[in-house]
Chains A and B, each alone.
Chain A
């Protein structure tokens, strides 16, 4: 039996045969965060009866994760491509150019379009065929590299052909997965993956449970328990299972991973089914020999496959601005065509007899109908000037961004976190440049700013504080107060392991047996004062609880009252604890270190190796019988275990929030309560997370009578959970307080430094957390978000007035009152803020607001005020906010202030916020993968934001701006030369350039260099980018892609095109060599085109900040390509026949090639010179400052800058400012609202509808058996 509890090692090899069957079907648009509305109706499945299921035609179990297959690739891919306006436009132009009204050969437009489509399709195929693994559910980021990439198609094959045991003819027959059908009874062995969504029928474990690992779904590595219905436990062997003829009625396939509704109609009974009986594809079986299940959903209908991992499709702000630019180009195009069309209408005349414009001439040239001529010429000119729309722009940008994200961001060693082996991951390449313009960062606290690495740090037992550690927050506070805090010498007793950072010689290594010994522990004046006050009583108290007994109760409570699973060797060194939250693991680890080593759990027993009994060193294994587990949920805020000691003693151990525990304490012992509460507050203000522990002895009679009720409640079919809660209330009373624990939630590495840097970069950081105000403020101080130089506005619902109204209980009244209060507060703060803003050197402002007030402040009537206030604030802390509110705040700034926002978070409760912001960043850390899967970028540590924004984002922004403006410039210049020519051709729409020149201009002669710039241009090095974060402000102000910039480029285009056209045409009028021969049209245009190609390519070099050899190669290559092309082409084609040889035989050619590009570039050069000398950009000054330094290729040196925490700022000042006597901040960290409603729903408990419920459904994770703390 107990063997089933052990998790076998070597899990790597066994999970691997199936690496990406959960790869999403990218064609679906559902994302994990959003739950699809359910299809109406339900499906009925006849188990073990293929014939009965036949009429319904359920989908097969084979899957295909490729976006395309060989047949659909072309039509589907082309369809995707023509959803782009630019491509559609060019298709239209291509069709137009087939008609006789076109001045140009169809190749002019067809060739660039086909090339662009070809490149796009190749890219699509490449992405699809060589898929990126990071698309897979639950898989960590991997570098994009061909060696890591797998072929989706191949992979699908492997998965579809994996074998599974299916019940056929009373035997288990191994069939490939793809043959599996709905209703089949199958057997899944230990460590195997479930091939489809299954109804769990029976397991080899006696009590019908099995353990599953859901890492592929949500990244959580702890095991989950599933329990089959009792009625089906027997159907384990083939002969028994054959008899199983149930009928399942259940919901239609949907993508909600954590819900399931259905009934099993079996032996004329209807048994309700819950997620507890469902085994999802993608999970694997653990610690169970095998299970038998019935297939419910197959293939693409499985929940995991319904959860498309499509990266949320966000478009960057820059791209939306680009659309405007394209629109402007369309407008320009139209104006140009209109001018030309009007001109042609006026020009056309029979007097030009050589044009043979007789009566019968085609309408487009018929002078009798000038209007028709103009109208048709309009279309003619549209095809002629179509080059003004940069057709290859989108595909170039896409390629650039693709490489930027897969090669630069994903592979940046500076964003690679070695400890967790996590590189950064760009899940979308759409938003690279958006990273360079972020102005507001919304950050989650837990797991993002803090490590979510809980360490048992202190405790209070029986009114005494243990634990000599000093938190960062206390340290900072002490330093601010001028107290020198000596580095606490680690005593020999100190043990530091994961989850345990505690040292107190009174408790360690069994020393607690000698406690209480008050003489040794008066180390804290604070405690001392209370201690002196309560000395007498306390002594009495301690005598009452019989000395060390209370300490033992404390440790036992830690060792028994939990839902942790031990894993691995049953030795203290090797054991690992599987817990849903790190807090729980920390508590059990603490118990272990105190000598209460919890090493084995069976469904009914908890085995603890206690080393306390009587003498030191003596070890005794004690097995506690677990009689009842009263689970944690958010309404209860506590968790209890009723256990029986081997000696028959019945005890209820309870741990939970101080508020709920205190309500249920037995009378008396007021001083212990008071002291403990003081300790709780002390811990809370030190940023520690607290839990209260209590116990109660039960007499057998009491227990028996209660247990009856419990069993009744447990077996009740309706409102079971509610009844269970009610029953729990009956026994969870008259508790005796033991003490409290304090767990440190460590800050992530380098967070304060990172925030400091972000501040300097002009980015405002808002913290949105579910934590209490005090905790949030503490963390804000610790992170440098708030310091004492700041003027703080605190809008809290925890005021006397509000509380008073709340106590009266009238909901309408409460709402009205709070709203009034909030309005008053906001108004006051806003006025004050404006006052400070008017003064020149006023303090920076900070706003702290709690969720309840925020709810009212987000009301449409107050929203503007809130926005005004918060935008003026340097930093904003929102505490006790729900996931929905997080999203609301994000969109408030995004939509209300039209600023670019970034949300960063790690947990499921951040999903809505991550999706709401312009950019979502997920922390790919410890908390699971939901945030990452909803995000656009995933990084391992908060501090990597510096690199992501200041280096990659900024560069990307600069590069994309350059690419766009350059594309704009080169196409406009080219088209304008054509436009000027139109004036001298009688507005006939004669092309200036040969068709092929025009068609290859965009795709060959000027295509590559700009991509090189998009990849390699660097204004300042990465280290300087971080050294001068202020450079980032250029991106926030959008300095490089304003209309002013575009207009400057446009002028440059006009100037250059005039130079090209007029210089070349004017100078070519007379005989051009000593033999006096004259040039024709094509000689002149080839000359002009040569100048255009050379100039446009050289112009690119002029705007480069750094020029690598790739620049030379691409620029030189492009010019060379033109010459190679024209040499070959002019031999082949009639109209440009030998023009280049004719040209090159004249000295005029060389004189012009020297003159025209230089004259054309002179204007830009003068502009650049003046701009740089007199109106320099910031980056240019930085370049100058560091111009003599070699480019530091050792960015590694900067790696450790972030690793030191800067001296902590003051924070207890802020705490003292808080209404302490009103808000008993005790550091309790159980009640993150996001989880609250989740658990309520999970357990079917009635919970009043909360505002955040909508968001919750999408974002919460399943923790069926274990409480989750935030």
Chain B
């Protein structure tokens, strides 16, 4: 019967018929509203700050942005300008004159001599380490078919060697065994090689290929017990080969390549030259032009770059900061001027629509 008792509370029986015994409910009602801490909530009177976007605020906001952004922009720009970057496009230079009309055949011919030498002039002194990048163009590493054509599980541990379903069509070798590393990404591994020497004394510059991949890739993503298997064993070679005796966790070129780029034009780190290069020096680069970008008219570039605190050469951030800072400064001034020329008094009731429009009372 307790349930019945509860229900008694519920029936507002006396509300209408009996004003004399309307006791419990209004008291309850008001008590609920006033005693509960959330009465401010139900009465919609929560304390609130009410920002009003007055011209003062607008101008000061612009000013603050300008004051903060311009120095940052200058710093970024300076940081970026500190970087010395040498870019050399070589994919056309490195085609022998005879093969200029059948570039694709040339590059696909494994017997052809792919050696090629180019010179790079150092415009400014470059402090070590000097990073060597290759830059590809019109290469859609972000194509949907390409991106998913890999098996992270397989890369991570030898246990998942056969986990290659996502790698089609580069999943199984002709013999039937799983390809390690499988998939189009690995299959199309970039395989141009570069070696550098100084022109003046023909001293060769060692390229350090260690430490070019992100630490997390090296330590956690690519397994120490995973060795290449059946790689590039198929009829058509998509790109570079891998040393079967080296575990994937040491194959940094692969790691770099497999961190697929966001855009069709991308750079990837090739190695580091740990020698300072003086200004106006010329460097001879002997390269193996193995990689086929001729099929899709992709450019290949070799990039030597130093870094500063901001990273590689990239003016964009600096310019953006500076531009935004400048725009804000201009806006601040503009707003101030306009506001003095044609002010609207704060809270001027004549601006109220019913005081303004015709036909209002």
Contacts of A1105 in B (CB 8 A): 50
Known: A154-B3, A1071-B312, A1080-B260. A412 touches B43 (CB 8 A): yes
From A357, A412, A420, A1191, contact of B48 by CB (8 A): A1191
Is A1141 located at the chain interface by the 8 A CB criterion?
yes
A1212-B82 Cα distance, complex, nearest whole Å:
92
* Cβ 8 A contact of B15, one of A17, A421, A1063, A1081: A421
Chain A 918-929 per-residue mask, 1 if CB under 8 angstroms from chain B, else 0: 000000001000
Find residues 273-292 in chain B having any chain A CB closer than 8 Å to their own CB: 292
Q: Which of B118-126, B198-206, B207-215, B241-249 contacts A (4 or more CB under 8 A)?
A: B207-215
Q: How far is the CA of A158 from the CA of B212 in the complex (A)?
A: 75
Segment of B94-102, B109-117, B172-180, B347-355 engaged in the interface with chain A: B347-355
Contacts of A1186 in B (CB 8 A): 347
- A1208-1257 interface (Cβ within 8 A of B): none
Chain A residues lying within 8 Å of B211, measured Cβ to Cβ, are 1075
Q: Are A1155 and B324 in contact (CB under 8 A)?
A: yes
User: Does chain B have a CB within 8 A of A1069?
Assistant: yes
Is B22 a contact of A421 with CB atoms below 8 Å?
A: yes
Determine which of A1134, A1178, A1191 lies in contact with B353 in the assembled complex, contact meaning CB atoms within 8 Å. Answer: A1178
Contact of A155 among B7, B133, B267, B268 (CB under 8 A): B7
Chain B residues with CB under 8 A of A1077: 212-214, 269
* Chain A residues positioned under 8 Å from B21 (CB to CB): 12
Contacts of A103 in B (CB 8 A): 144
Min CB distance B138 to A, Å, is 9
Are the C-beta atoms of A1081 and B309 separated by less than 8 Å?
A: no
Given contacts A19-B10, A421-B26, A1080-B259, contact A1134 B346 (CB under 8 A): no
Q: Give the contacting residue for A1033; candidates B46, B131, B259, B353; CB below 8 A.
A: B353
Residues of chain B contacted by A351 (CB below 8 angstroms): 295-297
CB B61 to nearest CB in A, in angstroms, measures 7
Closest to A1088 in B: B262
Residues of B within 8 A of A19 (CB): 7-8, 10-11
B257 to nearest A CB, angstroms?
A: 10
- B-facing residues in A39-83 (Cβ within 8 Å): none
Q: Does B256 contact A (CB under 8 A)?
A: yes
Nearest residue, chain B, Cβ from A1142: B214
Closest to B57 in A: A1169
Which of A139, A349, A1108 is within 8 Å of B47, CB to CB? A1108
Asked if B153 is at the interface of the complex by the 8 Å CB criterion, the answer is yes
**A1148 in contact with B16 (CB, 8 Å):** no
Alpha-carbon distance A483/B136, docked complex (angstroms): 98
Cα distance A148–B184 when bound, in Å?
A: 65
Contact A354 B8 (CB under 8 A): no
For the A-B complex, the count of residue pairs with Cβ-Cβ distances under 8 Å equals: 353
Q: Is the CB of A1152 within 8 A of B268?
A: no
Contact of B311 among A1030, A1148, A1155 (CB under 8 A): A1148
Q: Considering only CB atoms, which chain B residue lies closest to A358 in the complex? A: B169
Q: Quick one: which of B41, B52, B269 contacts A407, CB cutoff 8 A?
A: B41
Evaluate contact between B344 and A1173: CB separation under 8 angstroms: yes
B147 x A1108 contact (CB < 8 A): no
- Interface positions of A from 349 to 404, Cβ below 8 Å from B: 349, 351-358, 360-361, 365, 380
Question: How big is chain A's contact interface, by range?
Answer: 35 or more
In the complex formed, the residue of A with least CB distance to B53 is A1172
Contact across chains for A988 and B140 when beta carbons are under 8 A apart: yes
A1078:B15 contact, CB within 8 angstroms: no
* B313 at interface by CB-CB < 8 Å: yes
Q: Are A1074 and B309 in contact (CB under 8 A)?
A: yes
Question: Once bound together, how far apart are the Cα atoms of A601 and B32, in whole Å?
Answer: 44
Output the nearest chain B residue to A928 by Cβ-Cβ distance. Answer: B16
Known: A16-B13, A1173-B58. A1110 touches B46 (CB 8 A): yes
Given A990-B142, A1135-B152, A1148-B310, A1071 and B6 touching (CB < 8 A)? Answer: no
Q: Which residue of A lies closest to B268 (CB)?
A: A1078
- Chain B min CB distance to A495 (Å): 19
Question: Which residue on chain B has the smallest CB distance to residue A410?
Answer: B42
- Contacts A15-B13, A1070-B311; A1181 near B50 (Cβ below 8 A): no
Count the B residues whose beta carbon is within 8 Å of the partner chain — how many? Answer: 125
| Residues of chain A within 8 A of B238, CB atoms compared | 353-354, 356
Contacts of B269 in A (CB 8 A): 1071, 1076-1078
Q: Which residues on the B side are within 8 Å of A1104 (C-beta)?
A: 51
Question: Does A889 reach chain B (CB closer than 8 Å)?
Answer: no
Partner of B11, one of A15, A354, A1181: A15
Known: A353-B295, A1106-B49. A1173 touches B335 (CB 8 A): yes
**B263: interface (CB < 8 Å):** yes
- B347 and A215 contact, CB distance less than 8 A: no
Contact B156 A1072 (CB under 8 A): no
Residues of A within 8 A of B146 (CB): 354-355
Q: A421 and B29 in contact (CB under 8 A), knowing A13-B8, A407-B41, A1174-B344?
A: yes
Among the stretches A30-38, A321-329, A501-509, A1157-1165, the one at the interface with B is A1157-1165
Residue of A nearest to B132 (CB): A1076
B29–A11 touching, CB < 8 Å: no
Flag whether B159 is at the interface (Cβ < 8 A).
Answer: no
Q: Are B321 and A1069 in contact (CB under 8 A)?
A: no
B188 interface residue per 8 A CB criterion? yes
Docked-complex contact A411 and B305, CB < 8 angstroms = no
By the criterion CB–CB under 8 Å, are A1018 and B139 in contact? no
Which residues of chain A have C-beta atoms less than 8 A from B69's C-beta? 1155, 1158
Q: Which of A140, A147, A1016, A1154 contacts B32 (CB 8 A)?
A: A147
Q: How far is the CB of A1236 from chain B (nearest CB, A)?
A: 26
Chain A residues with CB under 8 A of B233: none
Contacts A1067-B314, A1071-B269, A1134-B156 given; does A416 touch B29 at CB 8 Å:
yes
Is A143 an interface residue, CB under 8 A from the partner?
Answer: yes
Bound together, the chains give a CA A1176 to CA B352 distance in angstroms of 8
On whether the beta carbons of B129 and A1076 are closer than 8 Å, the reply is yes
A355-B140, A1030-B354 given as contacts; is B262 within 8 A of A1181 (CB)?
Answer: no
Contact at A1137–B220, with CB atoms within 8 Å?
yes
Partner of B292, one of A157, A353, A358: A353
Is the Cβ of B312 less than 8 Å from the Cβ of A1076? yes
Taking CB atoms, residues of chain A closer than 8 Å to B292 are: 353
- Whether B16 contacts A1108 by the Cβ 8 Å rule is no
- Which residue from chain B places its CB closest to the CB of A951 in the assembled complex? B44
By a CB distance below 8 angstroms, the chain A residues around B74 are: none
- Is A1068 an interface position by the 8 A CB rule? yes
A547 to B272, CA, bound (A): 128
CB A574 to nearest CB in B, in angstroms, measures: 11
Give B residues with C-beta under 8 Å from A.
Answer: 3-4, 6-19, 21-22, 25-26, 29-30, 32-33, 40-55, 58, 61, 65, 69, 72, 76, 129, 131, 133, 139-147, 152-153, 156, 169-170, 184, 187-188, 211-214, 216-217, 220-221, 238-239, 256, 259-269, 272, 292, 295-297, 305, 307-314, 316-317, 320-321, 324, 327-328, 331, 335, 338-339, 342, 344, 346-349, 351-354, 358-359
User: What are 10 residue pairs bridging A and B, where the CB atoms are less than 8 Å apart in the complex?
Assistant: A11-B13, A157-B3, A356-B169, A411-B42, A1030-B354, A1077-B212, A1159-B324, A1165-B58, A1166-B331, A1191-B48
The 8 closest A-B pairs by CB, nearest first: A1071-B312, A1070-B312, A1134-B152, A1184-B347, A1080-B259, A1138-B216, A1185-B347, A1076-B131
| Apart from the given pairs A985-B140, A1193-B45, 15 other A-B contacts in the complex at a CB distance below 8 Å | A16-B7, A142-B12, A148-B9, A215-B13, A356-B169, A356-B184, A360-B169, A981-B142, A1080-B260, A1084-B262, A1107-B49, A1158-B324, A1162-B324, A1178-B354, A1180-B52
A interface residues (Cβ-Cβ under 8 A, vs B) = 11-13, 15-20, 103, 133, 139-140, 142-143, 145, 147-148, 150, 154-155, 157-158, 215, 219, 221, 349, 351-358, 360-361, 365, 380, 407-408, 411-413, 416, 418-423, 840, 926, 955, 981, 984-986, 988-991, 1016, 1018, 1022, 1030, 1033, 1063, 1065-1081, 1083-1085, 1104-1110, 1134-1135, 1137-1138, 1141-1142, 1146-1148, 1151-1152, 1154-1155, 1158-1159, 1162, 1165-1166, 1168-1169, 1172-1174, 1176, 1178, 1180-1187, 1191, 1193, 1195
